[in-house]
Every structure is written in C-alpha cells, then in structure tokens.
Amino acid sequence: MASRKSGKAGAGKQPSKAWAGRFREPTDRLVEAFSRSIAVDKRLYPQDIRGSIAHCQTLAKAGVLSRRDQAAIVRGLQLVQHELERERFKFLPEDEDIHMAIERRLTELIGPLGGKLHTGRSRNDQVALDVRLYVREQLTVLIERLTEFQRVLVAQATKHLDVPMPGYTHLQRAQPVLLAHHLLAYVEMFLRDQARLADARTRVNVMPLGSGALAGSNYPVDRLYTATLLDFPAVTQNSLDAVSDRDFMIEVAAALAVIMMHLSRMSEELILWATQEFHFVDLPDGFCTGSSMMPQKKNPDVPELVRGKTGRVYGHLIGLMTTLKALPLSYNRDLQEDKPALFDALDTTQDCVEVMTELMRRLKVDRAALTRALTGGGMLATELADYLVTRGVPFREAHAITGKIVRWALDAGRELSDLTVKELGVFSPRFEKSVLQRLTVQGAIDRKSQIGGTARAQVVRRLKELTKLLA
C-alpha cells in the first residue's frame, strides 16, 4: 500500500535521472559520487553539441522532428555551448556526465521540447561519437606539433651540418658521423609516428551514431546523412560493435606510446650529453632547475620528466587493454574508464612534444667537445680494415689484423691517425701510402656516401627532401 502511495506521489514529477522511472529509490549519494564522470568528460562538450545538432537535423530529415522543433533545439544547444565556452554553465550534483548535463540545461532553456533530442539515440552511441570526434581533432593537432618539432630538428641539423661527432653502439664510441645525421635520425622516427597517427585516424574516422544502445534505431534515420554533417567518410556496419568498440583508442594509445619512447630516447641522450663527462650540449637555463642544497647544479629536469612520463603513457595503454580484455558485447560501464586513460595519454604526449620542441630550438652545441670526443678509442679502425679489403685481404683476416693494430696503439698511447705507413706495415705488407687518406674523420664520413649514409652529400640531400616535405 505504501509502495502504491509512493508511486502516486511521484506521478507527474520530472525524475532526477533520465532513467529514473524504473527505480523505486534514488541513487545512493555514495554511488552518485563514485560513478560521476563529468570531471573527465566535460571536455567533450563541443563534440557533444556538434553531434547533437547533427542528430537533431537527422531526426528532422526523417520526419521525427518538425522543422520548427529542429530550429528551437539547435538554438537551445547553441545557447548551452555559449554558456560552456564562457564558463557560465552551472553543473549540478545530479549531472552524471557531460551528455546528461547538456540535455538537462537544454530542457531548462527550451522546455519539454528538449526531451525530444534523445529520440533514437543512446548514450552508448552518443559517447562513442563524441570520443571519435575529439580524438580525430587531437590527432590532427598532434601531427602538426610533430611537424613543427621536425622543422626545429632540421634547422639544428642545417646549422650544424659540418660538425662531426662520435657515433655510438653499446654506448661505446664506434664510428664518426655528422651531428646533423644524428639529429635527422629522430626526424625519421617522428615521420613514422605521424604515419601511425594518420593511419589510426582512418579507423577513428567512422561514424557510430544511429547504433542506439546496441541494436540500432527504430526511427528511419539516415546515418549517411549524419556522417556527411559530421565529416565522416564512413559509418559503422554493426551496431553491437559500434557501441563497444574501443580498438581505435588502443591503436591511438599504442601510437602515443611509441612517440613517447622516441622522446624518451632523445631525452636520455640529452641528459648524457649535458653532463660534464660528455659536455656535448648546453641545455637552455629556462628548461633546467638547480639544487636546493648544491649551488653548482644545473639539472636536466625537462628531459628527465619526459623520460619519466613515458612510463605513464605506457601504463595507460596497458590499462586500456586490461579494461577491454574480458568485456562481453556490447556496452559495459567498465568503458567509462577508457577516457581518463586516453585523455591523459593525449595530453601528456602533446605536452612533451611541445616542451621538447622548444628545448631543441634553444639547444646549444659544444663543437669543441664533440671534436675532442673523436680522439681515442680507435674510431678509425673500420677504415683500416676496409682499406685492407680493397687491397685483396679477406674481411675476417683484415678485421683480425686491424684488431692487433688497435691493441698495439692503445698500449703505446697512440692515435691510429698518427701511425706511419712503416708502422702499419709491421702488421701487413698490404699497407701503402694511400692508407693515410683513410685515417681522417672527414674521409671516414665522406666515404659513407650510399643512400642513408652519413656522408655530407647524403645528409644535404635528405635535408632538402625533409625541408620540402615539412614546408
């Protein structure tokens, strides 16, 4: 009896939730706080309003809404957007997410007509649309930022075109290369990163709206028309998949993880190069901090933070995959956890690209330190071995002979470039005066003249190609 009285008392009242009609009691306050996502998804308001306007136009085209109703709803949505853009929108405790907050405010502005907007639509396909719209925009921004980063690296490479340095394997001095060649290695990495982002964007760029909660819509909505309004080249082909698919998020997160890995590798090199032991570069003061105790310190905080944040982005990728690994079709509330991971991964990566771009723009190179680092350690040993090969000595034999020369030079405290033909002749009669032309840093660099080599001509060729590509 009490239950029936409670039902009558509630009759005619606007429920606090859009779905509250089926329930006998309101949502527990603890659950309200636990399940709210608006702090995370409120950034989606431009996409939500754009998608809602397109949905409204599609409903009008289908005859579900009158043209007059369409115009009123669109004007109302534009007013809501105006409030959000100027931070005049008042969020209420019952606003679960940005989608319901916008619908609630729309209804306050235009009355019960606002309740017609959600016809033929579920939050499941609504949020899928909003996230795709948002990610599509963010990928475009990130690709542009990577392009600017590459331009800075190309500018630094051009500026230091004739600066040789040690190339390393196993963090041991190996062979001379041009600093420009080293810098352009990162440009190549970021080109691949951009290609991955562009490729991922093709799978982001598929329109899910019209899939309903899971089975499609009971209304004759023209999904291709909606896709045209929202600049989508394709629509999803399975409603169950459309509302539960987060593959595109994982793909983007994976691409972001690779970008961060590349940034972390660069950061590690900058940290090493800025030490007094290397002193190859001087990081700009504005991108470093000091010590609260040791007055002499200049700490490479920016590259250290980038290196540290890389693990954070890796974690978001693993978190997304773990969230999805056991979800049955179609939508499950677990998917609310997809946005914090993806949004933070996007924010972190964009911030890291931006700060590293400015750091590299102001980076100073110590040419003298790089030149000093080219001495010692027998960096021209491969040139000796290859010389013997040109004189008819099998490479393995030439390798062994050169190894003995290196050992002797190290013990004697001599540089390979200082050895005479007579001294080299002790190890092999194949050495002639022409070998001395091999024992120079510049000669070693210039002989690597095949495509992709460190020879100046090849580096200049690639610089021209990249300058044109990044223009």
What are the backbone angles phi and psi of residue 62, rounded to the nearest 5°?
-80, -5
Quick check: is 291 catalytic? yes
Does residue 339 contact residue 248 with C-beta atoms inside 8 Å? Answer: no
Q: Letter for the amino acid at 181? A: H
Helix 67-85 vs helix 45-61: angle between axes, to the nearest 10 degrees? 180
Give Dmax over CA atoms of the chain in angstroms.
114
What are the backbone angles phi and psi of residue 94, rounded to the nearest 5°?
-80, 0
**Catalytic-labelled residue, pool 16, 35, 66, 291:** 291
CA distance 410 to 90: 75
3-state secondary structure of 178: strand
Does residue 56 contact residue 74 with C-beta atoms inside 8 Å? Answer: yes
CA distance 471 to 462: 14
CA distance 308 to 156: 25
Q: 365: which DSSP letter?
A: E
Alpha carbons within 13 A on the beta-carbon side of 72: 17
Residue 164 backbone class (left: φ over 0; alpha: ψ -120 to 50; beta: rest): beta
Beta-bridge mates of residue 164: 178
Element (H, E) at 168: strand 164-169
CA angle (462, 464, 465) in 5-degree steps: 65
3-state secondary structure of 414: coil
CA distance 373 to 164: 10
What is the residue-wise DSSP string for 5-17? HHHHHHTTSPPSS
**Catalytic-labelled residue, pool 170, 330, 428, 434:** 170
Quick check: is 170 catalytic? yes
Give me the helices (H) in 362-448, please. Answer: 367-373, 381-390, 395-412, 421-425, 441-446
CA distance 339 to 41: 7
CA distance 446 to 178: 10
**What would you report as the CA-atom Rg of the chain, rounded to the nearest whole angstrom?**
32
Peptide bond just before 239 cis, omega within 30 deg: no
CA distance 343 to 70: 32
Give me the helices (H) in 325-394, please. Answer: 338-361, 367-373, 381-390
Q: Letter for the amino acid at 16? A: S
Enzyme catalytic residues? 170, 291
